[in-house]
Structure formats: structure tokens, C-alpha cells
Amino acid sequence: MKGAQILIELLKREGVEVIFGYPGGAVIDIYDVIYETPEIHHILVRHEQGAAHAADGYARSTGKVGVCMATSGPGATNLVTGLATAYMDSIPIVAITGQVGTPLIGKDSFQEADITGITMPITKHNFLVTRVEDLAFIVREAFYIASSGRPGPVVIDIPKDVQQKTTEFVYPEKIKIPGYKPTYRGHVKQITLAAAAIMEAERPLLYVGGGVITSGASAQLLELAEKTDIPVVHTMMGKGTFPESHPLSLGMLGMHGTYWANKAVMNCDLLIAVGARFDDRVTGKVDTFAPKAKIIHIDIDPAEIGKNVKSDIPIVGDARLVLGELVKRVERKTHPQWREEIETFKRAYSPPYKESPKLLPHHVITLIYEKTHGENTILVTDVGQHQMWAAQMYRCEKPRTWVSSGGLGTMGYGLPASIGVQIGNPDKRVILISGDGSIFMKIQEMVTAVNYGLPLKIFVMNNSYLGMVRQWQGCLYKKRYSCTRLHNPDLAVVARAFGAEGLTVKTQAELEQAIDKALAIQDRPVLVDCHVAEEENVLPFVPPGKSLEEMILE
């Protein structure tokens, strides 16, 4: 078989059903094989970055490995932002890139770029295939590495001549990578210590992140929380790990977390971190984070233990397995005084959302939530103020119903990611909440959504600003609004020019009708341009470098 045929055969055997890509000269042999491979559905995006984000959204919402493909040189380098996005959030992607022929490598050949060198810091691993005989083993290894342990993106760079050469095809039944052996089962002694600490604590708190979703540990988390009566705070990546309507849920913590979640962190005596990495947007000033607490840190990646915050009881292992063992080792317990203290935090503050003749972002997101929430909806966001409002107001009850760029904070992520989500979940309703800054970053992918008849519901919080930067300028730089004012075209007209439906909303009275109309359209994407108040802020707000106690509340 030719190298290109071997690649596609391996993809089929890995269960790949969808590839998001953009063809070019260095991958034309692979596309020639795709032409006669009906088992694999290829989605033609309009920019390679869109392919990476779509594969990412597909992976986050399905739990499968997302696959994207691009040609050499600029095609491969256009994947970089999407790969970095997936890497920061531990999302399993396999990116296949074409490369110039092996005799031309290193000679500044046409459309040559050292993509393995470029992506080394932002991938879990990458491969440059120099022999067709190695291709089958490399593809198998790539999928195993991407999906095992702490997941992440993997690049396979395949020179053009390797795609064309032939060899006897032998399927690698077993994968064994020297030096790579993720630890899944936590150390029994450490788990026993953690169970004892939970039973001794008077003000325990669970702090959970995206690793709980990756592990499939939500059932074990719920069982532990209910058995031991421990309140739960989550990161933005952790939305959906624990039902947000549950009495023990305190919502999101951190820079734009709830007042009571942050107060609980600062007053707990035991913090149990599960599948979370103590990101700076969560901790604020690290020296002041959870000052009264003993810390248990459960993570499958040993490099995360103690990296940002020192842990007293570190446990390296898979969240589902470790939580399952913890549940066995703890007794039923209640914390009435601690729960009442948290209730006082809730009574002490509520976000200052005022009534206004203007359309306010929280009006829009609250009404979208009321009309769409449930197991049949997946919410996708871009990055900015709208993302934080959505995280605060759109409650998620199940894993993989929230898709958003966390660690890298990639504007432009939302539209291509929602395409990947819809392709991977054709029976689900996919809602995208974006901003007028973010939506234009990858607006060309509206063509992709139209071409494939995807019924995406896109709500743009249009405040004519780069909202989050403007908020920082307003709060921290004396309202010196430098280069953050946006002068936008009519978004509804732009959407219609692409072949989508475009609606404009400027008042509260128009909002409900527009949402209902958007939800009714099923044969094409709908963009609802919501003209919201220009200088509304996301609150609470912990300024960078400040303690969680130093929240700006109004």
C-alpha cells in the first residue's frame, strides 16, 4: 500500500469518522485516497485554524479524538493557534500535516516549514515520518498518546514522498512506548490520608476542573460530595462536572467567579483539588490563595502537582479511579455550620444587575438559558466578557455541554468549534455565544456552517468594544480606552451575505421574538446581533495579581 493509503486505513481502524481540513499540494495524495473513502466524512473549512478549532470542539463535546489536516508551510502554521488552544486545555487532537519531500527538507523549499519544531512547545508529542515503513506504527502511537493519560494534541508531519512510496501494510496490534506509562491508580497510602483529612475537616471544599470531565468522573464526584456534604466550586473548564442546580454547587471560582465561591475558598480548612491546575485566573495572588486550608491535589499529570500551589496530600492518578476509592474510604458526614456560613456569603452579595431601558447582556443570556437549557443543548462560547457572563449565568448540569477556550483564551475559537460540536452531535442543539470582537476573528467559517446546513444558533453580544480589554482599561487605567472601540458593519447583513439568517435585536421587547425565530430555523445557521449596553462590566472582578478577597463588586 502507498503511505497515503496506509494513513487512511489506520484512521478508519482508529474509528475516525470525521476529518476537518483544507487541501494543498503536500497532502494531495491523501486527499486522493479520501476521494474513494466514504467511511470518512471530510469537512472542508475555509481556514486551517478553523479546522483545528473544529476538531477541538468535536473532541470536547464527544470525548473522541478530533482530527484535522493541512498542507505544508502556511497550511501547517495556520494550525498553530488551534493546537496551542487544545494543548492548554488538554484536548485530544491528531493533526496531520503534509511536508515537502524528504530530499527537500532543510533546503528552504517552496512551502516548507519545520512544523515539528514550531509545535514542539504546544503539543503533547509530534512526529516527522521519514520512512513509509514507520507510518502505521506512528499513527497508532499518535492516537494512543493523544487520548491516554493527560490528553493533548499530537502532530504527524508526513513528507510528500512518504505518502507516495509503497510498503507491505502490517497493522500494529500492540502499542508500547518506552518511558510513557501514565499512572491511573492513585497510591493507596495517599488516598487513605486524603480520606482521613476529609473526615477531620470542618470546612471542606471540592475544587474541580476539566480533568473530571476528561476522566468521566462526574458520577464519583457527585457521590463523594453528597456522602460527605462537601460544597463544590468549579473552574470554567469544569462547568458541567457537577450539576450547577445542586444545593452543594457554589458555581465558578476565580477572577470572575461567584462571590460566595471565592469566599468559600478563602475560608475553607480543606481544599480538595481534582483535575485542576491552580491556574492564575483561579488563584489570584498565589500567596494568599486558600490561606487556612490543607490541600489535597488529585491529578493524572505529576508535573501539575506542586507546580503553582504546594499540596499537603498529592495523589497522582485518574480522577474517576481515585474518587471511586475515596468514596469507599469515607463515612457519611454533614457540615451544617459550614453550609450556613456559605449561605451568609450568598446573602451578603448579589450581582448588581440593574433594570435598564438598554438591552443588557445578562438579559440576553438569561433568556437564552431559560429557553434552551437541558440535556439536548451544548453551549459554546468565544472569549471575552460574553464568555464570563455565560459562565456565570448559563448553568450546566452534565459534562460535555460547555465548550470554551480556557487556558489560551482564543478569540475566534467559538464559530469553528461550534461547527465541530454540531458535526459530532447532530441530534443536539448547539448555541454559540460570541462577541463582536471574537466573531470577526473567524467569520469565514460561517460559509462552512452554511455549506453543510448546520443549524447553529449564534448570539453576538455586540457592545462596539473589545469588551474585556475596555473593562480593564475602565477599572485599572482610568478609562483610557486605547484602541478598543470597534466600528462594525451590520452583522445581520453580513450573516445573510454568507447564506445564513441574520437578525438584529436592540431592545428587550425584540429579544424573545428573535430567540424564538432563531430556535425555529433548522436548515442553516442563524446569527442574532444583540446590541447590548456598551460599558457594562462583568462582576465580580478580581484584578490580576490581587487576592480573591479583593473582588471589585460594583
Active site residues: 48, 110-111, 160, 468
- Helices and strands per DSSP (H, E), number in the chain: 22, 18
Find all residues with CB under 8 Å of 462, minimum gap 6, and list them. Answer: 435, 436, 488, 491, 529, 530, 531, 532
- The edge-to-edge listing of strands for the beta sheet with 18-21 is 41-44, 18-21, 66-70, 93-99, 153-159, 125-128
Q: Which helix (H) or strand (E) covers residue 435, if one does?
A: strand 429-435
SS3 402: strand
Contact 167, 1 (CB under 8 A): yes
Length of the chain: 554
- The edge-to-edge listing of strands for the beta sheet with 249-252 is 249-252, 232-234, 204-208, 270-274, 294-299, 313-316
Residue 303, Cβ neighbours under 10 Å: how many?
10
CA–CA dist 258, 388 (Å, integer): 11
Query: Is the Cα torsion angle 538, 543, 548, 552 positive or negative in sign?
Result: negative
SS3 458: strand
SS (H, E, C) 34-85: HCCCCCCEEEECCCHHHHHHHHHHHHHHHCCCEEEEECCCHHHHCCHHHHHH
CA–CA dist 208, 486 (Å, integer): 36
Closest CA to 165 of 138, 129, 127: 129
∠ Cα 291 351 282 (to 5°): 35
Rg for the chain (alpha carbons), in Å?
Answer: 24
- DSSP lists the bridge partners of residue 208 as 234, 274
The answer, yes or no, to whether the previous bond of 361 is cis (omega within 30 of 0) is: no
Pairing of strands 270-274, 249-252: unpaired
Contact 79, 70 (CB under 8 A): yes
- The string over 14-31, giving b where at least 16 C-beta atoms fall within 10 Å of a residue's C-beta and e elsewhere, is bebebbbbbbbebbebbb
CA–CA dist 51, 16 (Å, integer): 15
CA dihedral 109, 111, 114, 120 (to 10 degrees): 180
* Strand segments (E) across 84-152: 93-99, 125-128
Closest CA to 21 of 33, 31, 32: 31
